[in-house]
Amino acid sequence: MNVDARPDRIETVPPRRGFAHVDVWIFDLDNTLYPHESRLWPQVDARITLFLQEMFGIDGMSARALQKYYYERYGTTLRGLMDEHAVSPHDFLDFAHQIDLSLLDPAPRLGTAIAALPGRKLILTNGSRRHAQNVAGKLGILDRFEEIFDIVAADFVAKPEARTYDRFLEKHDVDPERAAMFEDIAKNLVVPDALGMTTVLVLPKSPDPFRDAHEQAAVEASHVHHSTTDLTGFLEAIEAARGV
């Protein structure tokens, strides 16, 4: 199922995996549960750059280059700093997530759509628990989720590493073949697909100037079963289909 920005327009395609069997609903946090117009991730990104500036006493351009190096080599800046400089991950996460949530609007319709899904709902994020709680709380949807699995619970190994998903499934006793995963980055759906989950790629309604183009591109691949630019409308369509 592909759902565009308007929930009244639904294009049905031959499904790779559906939702009738799903009783565990897993959501990424950043740029998935909220739109990029809320300007949260650019703030986190800027805070990471500032952390590097202050730690190494370098200018912004040099810090950005170092940040990109760590991201490409280790998957996250945090992992690079931990492995190469024994940086405290908790200090880093606290610093990176000191952001302004004022542009993030409550999303009661999204909360209603999540609540209507049958079964358990979980957040699986590369961010911190506190960040997820703050964001989901501002959205007004925190109470819709049973639990948050964050980067600390993942032993600071970020998605898309397979061991992160394995750790998540074991900790929360999830059968992946009865689960659906919602993500904004296509590569983070490769392992969920291999495990048997139904996968959904959540795309921005308009290009996000603060992210690389390849990280927000529509992807036609076997590990992406569904895609949408309207998460709320997509979830509502799932519930509507259940009632048919």
The domains located in the chain, with CATH, are 2-36+105-242 (3.40.50.1000), 41-96 (1.10.150.450)
According to the model, what pLDDT value does residue 193 have?
A: 97
Q: What is the pLDDT of residue 241?
A: 86
Nearest to 31 by CA among 115, 125, 107, 110: 125
Lowest mean pLDDT among 100-109, 199-208, 219-228: 199-208
Which phi-psi region, left, alpha or beta, contains residue 30 (left: φ > 0; alpha: ψ -120 to 50)? Answer: beta
Strands (DSSP E) found in 81-162: 120-124, 147-149
Dihedrals phi, psi of 182, to nearest 5 degrees: -110, 125
Task: Give the separation between CA 183 and CA 177, rounded to whole angstroms.
Answer: 17
Mean pLDDT of the chain: 90
Tokens 């952390």 appear where? 51
How confident is the model over 14-45, as pLDDT tens digits? 456 899 999 999 999 999 999 888 899 999 99
Instruction: Evaluate whether 156 touches 89 at the Cβ level (below 8 Å).
Output: yes
* pTM for this model (two decimals): 0.89
Q: What are phi and psi of 82, to 5 degrees?
A: -65, -45
- In sequence order, which residues have a C-beta less than 8 Å from that of residue 176 and are 6 or more positions away? 165, 169, 192, 195, 196, 197
pLDDT digits (tens, 9 = 90+) for 122-161: 999 999 999 999 999 999 999 999 999 999 999 999 999 9
Contact call for residues 51 and 96 (beta carbons, < 8 A): yes
Distance CA 219, CA 199 (A): 12
Please tell me whether the peptide bond between 160 and the residue prior to it is cis, using omega within 30 degrees of 0. yes
Position 221 scores a pLDDT of: 87
Q: Burial-class residue 226 by CB neighbours within 10 Å (0-12, 13-18, 19+).
A: buried
Residue 4's pLDDT is 45
Q: Read off φ and ψ for residue 134, nearest 5 degrees.
A: -65, -45
* Tokens 């940086």 belong to residue: 87
pLDDT computed for residue 8 by the predictor: 40
- Is-contact 184 8, C-beta < 8 A? no
- The better pLDDT of the pair 101, 213 is held by 101
The β-bridge relationship of strands 24-27 and 120-124 is: parallel
Give the separation between CA 50 and CA 33, rounded to whole angstroms. 26
pLDDT tier at 233, thresholds 50, 70, 90: very high
Neighbour tally for 8: CB within 10 Å: 8
User: Who wins on pLDDT, 11 or 61?
Assistant: 61
